[in-house]
Amino acid sequence: MGAPPADWWLQDYFNWLERPYYLALQSAASAFGSNPQALQVTQVMTDRPCRAIRVGRIQVQFFVKRRIQRTPTQHPAGAVAPLLISTPEATAYDLIRYATRIGGIERAAETIRPLLPLLRARELRRVLDGENEPGVAQRLGFVIEACGNKSLVKVVRDWLPDELTPVALVPGKGKRDDLPLIKRWQVLNNSSELKV
């Protein structure tokens, strides 16, 4: 590989940079057992832009979240070295928020589906409160419903305000006028694969 795995040295690297981080997105989902497709990169969330790192065959890609301190994290069981990873609930939320950068909403949904049994209602509510982005929550609710988890759908729907602004499931894709509107979520479904 030309270097030890990234999760062995990420904590030390970010301690040296004196910046917050956590293992995120599909890398975090993979740590929880959801890895529908093999990952070629390690995905890491931090608070400001960072160039990707390549050490031997190890690649680390960085994503930026300004309010990173609000994201719940944990230490993975059985880790070889100290490491922060987003909780399953925060991972699912981030997968929707950054879907356009990780292969699309369909890829995010296929990664979230195996995570659903790990999501806890109270923790999901905590993530929604901390992030406070109704548009992302609408998309997340739609995806959770498409994956068939009714109890988590209720958590998201109860968190959302009564009056919702319509949002496209995939931001910036297609004309909004001819898209079917899923009224429950006020989501314009411009995905050919996801249905509720």
| Predicted local confidence at residue 191, as pLDDT | 75
What pLDDT, in 10s, does the model give residues 11-34? 999 999 999 999 999 999 999 988
Phi, psi of 62 (to 5 degrees): -105, 140
Separation of alpha carbons 191 and 196, rounded Å: 11
* pLDDT of residue 158 exceeding 70: yes
* pLDDT of residue 48 exceeding 70: yes
Separation of alpha carbons 157 and 154, rounded Å: 5
Tokens 């109890």 -> residue = 151
| Predicted local confidence at residue 2, as pLDDT | 65
Question: What is the chain's mean pLDDT, rounded?
Answer: 91
* pLDDT of residue 71 exceeding 80: yes
For residue 119, how many other CB atoms are within 10 A of its CB?
21
Task: Report the SS3 class of residue 46.
Answer: strand
| Predicted local confidence at residue 123, as pLDDT | 97
* pLDDT of residue 5 exceeding 90: no
| Predicted local confidence at residue 59, as pLDDT | 93
